[in-house]
A = this chain, B = another copy of it.
Amino acid sequence: MAQLDKNIRLATEKRSKRSIDQLTGFKVTDAFTRFSQRDEIYCRSEWDEDVMSEKASAFFQGYYMPNARSRKTDGFSQRDYALRNASWHVTNILRDVKRESEGLKEGFFDHFSLHDEGWPEPYPFESAQHATNDLQKVARFCGADLVGVCDYDERWVYTEAFCDKTKKGKPLSLPDDLPHVIVTGEAMDADLTKTVPSALAGSATGMGYGYDTITLLTLAQYIRNLGYRAYATMNDSALAVPLAVQAGLGEVGRHGLLITEEFGPRLRLGKIFTDMPLVASTPKKFGVKEFCDICDRCASACPPKAIPHGEQNDQVLNRSNLIGVVKWTTDAEKCFKFWANQNSDCSICIRACPYNRPVTRTMSRWYHRFWHKLASSRLRKLALWLDDQIADRSRHKSGWWWARKS
């Protein structure tokens, strides 16, 4: 009987995975292998000699002020590093509360565990739809710019976590019986992305993480206060991008980043695994795959040539790549080496992306709506040509940002 139940469950899972892939357009081959966080490029910089270097160490240390390598290059002055490093501060505090005592690096290698006791019994929602409406309302109140829900999909969950102390893999502490994943998106400062590459622009990432942390901790505590289980995760525990696509937030671009209709690729992602009764969102398609097929602005703009030109494929460049998925695959080794060399994260691919469309005085909302319609139609080549003529994707000086009224 138990075996029969298991067989039915497995068959249902297989069917639902096929249908979610039909909805998202994901092409997962038989070679598919789940990912270990140990192979993520940041983790590799702590154990893999192919990635470890003095510059890589200096890159990480530079996030703390006395070690910042401030210099005369535009965007890399003390003032720029001062803001960049401060923007990470709250995330770092919350990350490290249990670091010394319990070896946890929350939000990065471990899910958040900073929670108070919730309610002993689950709140009796009228229906899963009512619960989902409340969740949407609360997520936005807690600061999420976007929110969606998908079913749990083990494929995107890490096979193991990374241990901050031993610098080796360790068992994942995320339960595997939570049926839903809430995915949240936190928009990053549009003006700052115009100044990449710079230490200054890293402040958009830092504050993005800060707001992400707050939204996730508050939202997960809310769900626990209702009497359900909720595990908030950020860079830890699972791959965010495929879950975000399944949760209807957007599509994947050539640069490997999630592209949303609302903020393009200018977004930080968070995810909460829960048993709160929820209705899954429908994956959203607005022609990103087809547009990226004809656009390679990110690939051309990438200094270390880490983003591929050409068609999607399932080629694997190094151990930081996911095996068995047909997609555009970024060379994380080249990407990270560039970060280490310039002593700051990059994001030129975000600045160069036509979907990165900050609303400005000169380019008004109606034009962006019109452009989106064009880009998702058969006239996408016209959309790209138009954007090449009109959009200013050049690097702005850091002084431009500092002087700009906000």
Give A residues with C-beta under 8 Å from B: 64-66, 78-79, 81-83, 85-87, 89-90, 92-94, 97, 114-120, 123, 133-134, 137-138, 140-143, 189, 203, 207, 210, 213-214, 217-219, 221-222, 224-227, 402-404, 406
Contacts of A406 in B (CB 8 A): 137, 140-141
- In the bound complex, what is the Cα–Cα distance between A119 and B83 (angstroms)? 12
- In the bound complex, what is the Cα–Cα distance between A218 and B210 (angstroms)? 10
- In the bound complex, what is the Cα–Cα distance between A82 and B402 (angstroms)? 40
Contacts of A219 in B (CB 8 A): 86
- In the bound complex, what is the Cα–Cα distance between A79 and B142 (angstroms)? 15
Please state the number of chain copies in the assembly.
2
Asked if A225 and B123 sit within 8 Å, CB to CB, the answer is no
Asked if A79 and B123 sit within 8 Å, CB to CB, the answer is yes
The 3 closest A-B pairs by CB, nearest first: A82-B225, A86-B222, A86-B221
| Chain A at the B interface: SS class | helix
Asked if B217 and A93 sit within 8 Å, CB to CB, the answer is yes
Asked if B141 and A203 sit within 8 Å, CB to CB, the answer is yes
Instruction: Look across to chain B and name the residue whose beta carbon is closest to the beta carbon of A79.
Output: B123
| Minimum C-beta distance from A61 to chain B (A) | 12
Contacts of A227 in B (CB 8 A): 78
Asked if B82 and A123 sit within 8 Å, CB to CB, the answer is yes
Asked if B221 and A89 sit within 8 Å, CB to CB, the answer is yes
Q: Given A65-B118, A137-B404, 14 more contacts at CB 8 Å?
A: A64-B117, A65-B119, A65-B225, A82-B225, A85-B221, A86-B138, A86-B219, A87-B218, A89-B115, A90-B214, A93-B217, A134-B402, A137-B406, A210-B214
**A123-B78 in contact given A141-B189, A218-B210 (Cβ < 8 Å):** yes
Among B78, B79, B85, B218, contact of A89 (Cβ-Cβ < 8 Å): B218
Asked if A89 and B217 sit within 8 Å, CB to CB, the answer is yes
Asked if A207 and B83 sit within 8 Å, CB to CB, the answer is no
| Minimum C-beta distance from A397 to chain B (A) | 15
Contacts of A218 in B (CB 8 A): 86-87, 89-90, 207, 210
Asked if B134 and A225 sit within 8 Å, CB to CB, the answer is no
- In the bound complex, what is the Cα–Cα distance between A406 and B93 (angstroms)? 30
Instruction: Look across to chain B and name the residue whose beta carbon is closest to the beta carbon of A66.
Output: B117
